[in-house]
């Protein structure tokens, strides 16, 4: 579930859950202060503080603006990305988090997995998160190709990871 959906869901649970969820999303997921978020959302900071403290319920227009801003921030943060599913030891060798290939700047997002089940779940989560392609181990590749709607490439033993990412970018075109 993405962070905007978490905020929407929490609004239907209770005022307290909504306040806690919105506060956590602003601070932890968006890495913003309440004032910075209020500016981006075009909401007076005092209004946001009242909502976060429970002194005011947001009207529907304000709630829409909060959710729209969260979505806009998360989309601009994520952009196009390729998901890489591998063991933590492989992921620790990734030095670039962005790669420019063929004039396209693509973010590389890591998904750690220690089992086949973890890899399959991570693949589904990566697609839900908006991955444009997926790079994974050869043993899990054929399975996730059957359930995903994005290109899947596998890590080959030699110049593996970067070669696989480059192949994924080419498949995206």
99-132 confidence digits (pLDDT tens): 777 777 778 888 889 999 999 999 999 998 888 8
Quote the CA–CA distance of 22 and 161 in Å, as a whole number: 37
65 has pLDDT over 60: yes
Which pLDDT belongs to residue 79? 62
* pLDDT at position 116: 93
Q: Give mean pLDDT, residues 89-97.
A: 74
**pLDDT computed for residue 75 by the predictor:** 66
Find the length of the chain: 173
In this predicted structure, what is the pLDDT of residue 48? 94
Least confident of 16-20, 64-68, 153-157: 153-157
CA 151, chain centre distance (Å) = 18
pLDDT at res. 45:
94
Instruction: Give pLDDT tens digits for 137-157.
Output: 889 999 999 999 999 999 866
Gap between the Cα atoms of 132 and 78, Å rounded: 11
pLDDT over 60 (residue 78): no
Domains along the sequence of the chain with CATH: 3-78 (1.10.260), 81-172 (3.40.50.2300)
Q: Are 65 and 51 within 8 A, CB to CB?
A: no
For 109, residues 6+ apart whose C-beta sits below 8 A from its C-beta are: 78, 81, 82, 83, 84, 126, 129, 131
- Residue 51, Cβ density class (10 Å: 0-12 exposed, 13-18 middle, ≥19 buried): buried
Q: What per-residue confidence (pLDDT) applies to 23?
A: 94
Compute the distance between CA of residue 30 and CA of residue 173 in angstroms, rounded to an integer: 30
Percent with pLDDT over 90 in the chain = 50
The share of the chain scoring above pLDDT 70, in percent, equals: 92
Q: For residue 152, what are the β-bridge partners?
A: 134
pLDDT at residue 151, as a whole number: 95
Beta strands in 87-159 (DSSP E): 98-101, 104-112, 133-136, 152-154
Whether 80 and 8 have beta carbons less than 8 Å apart is answered as no
Kindly give the pairing relationship between strand 81-86 and strand 104-112: parallel
């Amino acid at each position: 579930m993405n962070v905007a959906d978490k905020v929407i869901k929490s609004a239907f649970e209770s005022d307290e859950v909504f306040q806690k969820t919105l506060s956590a999303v602003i601070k932890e997921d968006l890495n913003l202060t309440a004032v910075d978020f209020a500016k981006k959302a075009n909401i007076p900071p005092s209004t946001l503080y009242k909502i976060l403290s429970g002194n005011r319920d947001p009207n529907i227009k304000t709630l829409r603006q909060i959710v729209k801003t969260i979505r806009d921030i998360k989309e601009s943060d994520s952009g196009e990305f390729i998901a890489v599913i591998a063991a933590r030891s492989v992921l620790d060798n990734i030095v670039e988090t962005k790669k420019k290939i063929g004039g396209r700047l693509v973010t590389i997002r890591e998904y750690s997995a220690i089992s086949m089940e973890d890899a399959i779940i991570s693949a589904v989560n990566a697609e839900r998160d908006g991955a444009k392609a997926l790079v994974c181990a050869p043993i899990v590749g054929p399975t996730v190709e059957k359930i995903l709607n994005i290109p899947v490439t596998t890590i080959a033993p030699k110049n593996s990871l970067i070669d696989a990412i480059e192949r994924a970018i080419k498949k995206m075109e």
